[in-house]
Amino acid sequence: MTPSPLGTMSNHLIDSLTFQERASLLADCEAIELRLGDVITEHGGKLLHVHFPLDSFISQIASLSDGKQLEVAMVGSEGMLGTPLMLGVDESPWLALVQGAGTALRMPADLFGRHLEQSPALQALLKRYLYVVMHQLSRVAGCTHYHLVEARLARWLLMTQDRAHSDRLHLTHEFLAMMLGVRRSGITLAAMALQARRLISYHRGDIVVLDREGLIEASCGCYVADRSLYRRVITEGGAS
C-alpha cells in the first residue's frame, strides 16, 4: 500500500482501495483534529460529513427515551463514521462522541455521495463494511444482555486499545459505566478483578494493559469474533 499523506497515520478502509481510487477520495478530504469529548453529531442530528479516523476514535452512543445511554459501536482507523449516508439517509441514529483525540479525514456528505456513485470499488467496499457494522451491532445486543461485566469490560478495553494504538488509556469508572450500561460499582468490581489477575493496572482513571493475551482470554468471545469477521469481510474481501 502507498504510505498515507499524513505520515504513518492511515485508515484501513481507505488503504484497501487501489491507488487511483484512494487518490480520488483523499483529494476531497480534509484532515481535522478531533478533541476528547467533542460531539460530532447528536442523536437524530443531520449528517453533514463522513469521517475516516486515523489515530482518533469515536463512540456511537444510543440515547433512550428515559435519558439513559449505552455505547453500541466504536469507530477508529478500521472504519468510518457516517454509514447512514450510504443508504441515502442523512440523519444520525446515535450520538457520536470523540473518545480518543487525534486526527481524522473529513468529507462533506454531498461529495461522499458523488464518490459512491462514481466508484463501484468504493461502493462495494463500504457495503461490506456496512455488513460488518450490522453484524457487530447485533452482537453488542446479545453481549450486553448475556455476558458478565468483567468479560464485557475486558472486551471493551481491547477494542479501545486497538483504536488508541496504545497500552495506556485514560478512562474513569463513571465513563466506563455509561459505555457499558452498568452501575459504577459493577465497573469497580470488574476492574479490580482484572487488576488482581495482573491483566491491567488501574489508578485514578489511568489504565495500562499489562497482558493483552490474558485480557483476550478474560473477554467474552465477541472480541475475537468481531476481529475475525472484519478480517474475513474487509481485509480478505469476502463474506462467504
Q: What pLDDT sits at residue 106?
A: 98
Q: Is the pLDDT of residue 18 over 90?
A: yes
In the chain, where the domains are located? 12-119, 148-219
Average pLDDT, the chain: 91
Residue 165 carries which side chain, given as an amino acid letter? Answer: H
pLDDT more than 70, % of the chain: 95
pLDDT, tens digit, 9 for 90 and up, residues 118-171: 999 999 999 999 999 999 999 988 888 899 999 999 999 999 999 999 999 988
Measured CA distances, 67 to 24, 58, 182 (Å)? 42, 20, 14
Q: What pLDDT sits at residue 95?
A: 95
Whole-model pTM: value is 0.90
pLDDT, tens digit, 9 for 90 and up, residues 177-202: 888 888 889 999 999 999 999 999 99
Q: What pLDDT sits at residue 64?
A: 82
Q: What pLDDT sits at residue 128?
A: 97
Per CATH, the homologous superfamily of domain 12-119 is Jelly Rolls (2.60.120.10)
pLDDT, tens digit, 9 for 90 and up, residues 19-71: 999 999 999 999 999 999 999 999 999 999 999 999 999 999 998 888 888 88
Check if CATH label 1.10.150.110 holds for domain 148-219: no
pLDDT more than 90, % of the chain: 76
Q: How far apart are CA 153 and CA 155, in angstroms?
A: 5
